[in-house]
Structure 1
Amino acid sequence: MVAPNVKAETMRLMDRRSALEAEMDAIIAALSAPGGAGITGSLVDAEGFPRADIDIPAVLAQRRKLGELRNDHKDVTSKIEKNLEVLHSTKLTRNEQSIPRSSGISAPLHGGLSQNDPMEEDVVTRLPFAIIDDIADGSPAALDGLLLGDEIVKFGSVEAGGRLQERLVSEAVSNEDNQVSLLIIRQGSPMNLTITPRKWHGRGLMGCHFRIL
């Protein structure tokens, strides 16, 4: 079957992306250490001479490596997005091709899986459709345990599909002051969380931003 193979590849790509992010974070931390040159800081002093307080060749090597990692991260993310599109379209196509029998049971799909087979559903629903790319300190999202970089697999009744931003907002508004169950992927591992959308001193009911993948 195509979909499970694509799913396995996507999970490997997600692991690769996490590894790239960890490596980038380490380089950024080293460059940004007190007294360091920073990511884009000058390597010469006020008089135009090479700075004597830093290892310039090492800094240049770290900056070059960081640029390479960022390019790799962009490529991996692009592949993940394309695979997610394939998985979503595969699910829709198979649902359309299912033919009800007289007994009311769906006919088997490719590979012998029925439309409601849990393995088939897992192909798509276990993959994230959004990522938390901004979260405010003291916000409901932060206080309830969401972290920057968490990947959203399910938010209440919202899963992969169309009009995701609109549906996420609607889900939060309709559940104001009520707990909403989330299924997320954090550093490659699935987790269940609950968040309570509610008014606070900042914008919105949660204080975070979902970037659709």
Structure 2
Amino acid sequence: MNEQPLHSQLSNLNIDPTIHERIKKLPDLTINEIDLLKTEIESELHKNFSILKEQNLTMESPLVTSDGFPDPNIDVLQIRIVKRNINMLRNDLNNVITTCALKLNRHFGKDKNQNQQESLRKGENFDHIIPFAQIYDVIEGGPIFIAGCLSGDELVLIGNLNAGTYLNLNNISNYILQNENKKVTIRIRRDKKLLDMILIPTRQWNGQGLLGCKLKLL
């Protein structure tokens, strides 16, 4: 099988150009249009984070060896573009969330959006709002069910693991094992809303495993 030419491979990393066009018109977009744009930006972030995961990298991973040479095990050019994309998309997402909050304030009044504005002032970490796995086959009475999760919920945070730090399902499993019978903060997204919960991974229930559910990466 012939490999794609370099220019073709790199073009696959391009961000949807319509996102940038709509970012420039943010003040003129409706709340529904902004919400759709937010979803598309999150999708682009997922795509770029997935490329990092394929090479077992994070945003903090170095691209050079200890001698200062490009790491031969990494597609350095590709990863530089991916990291640039992620930084640009994070900035775009910041603008989208800020604009949406302002529009909601004007529409509903300041009091109803006080908490959202407070989180913006503190500087939201966007790795903490992007889901990276889906929860399914939740067993009633299991630890994840008791925490409040439902099948179809999307996992955003589990302890210190998020879209920018997890590597694979084994990474998540190991974290769960290390925190057996301990309280773990989790964040899920359900119906476009973020919900924080406390999970206690344990074998002390009538089923198998520490969670009572299955996970699949997004």
Compute the TM-score of the two structures, normalised by the length of structure 2.
0.48
Structure with bigger gyration radius: 1
TM-score of the aligned structures, taking structure 1 as reference length? 0.49
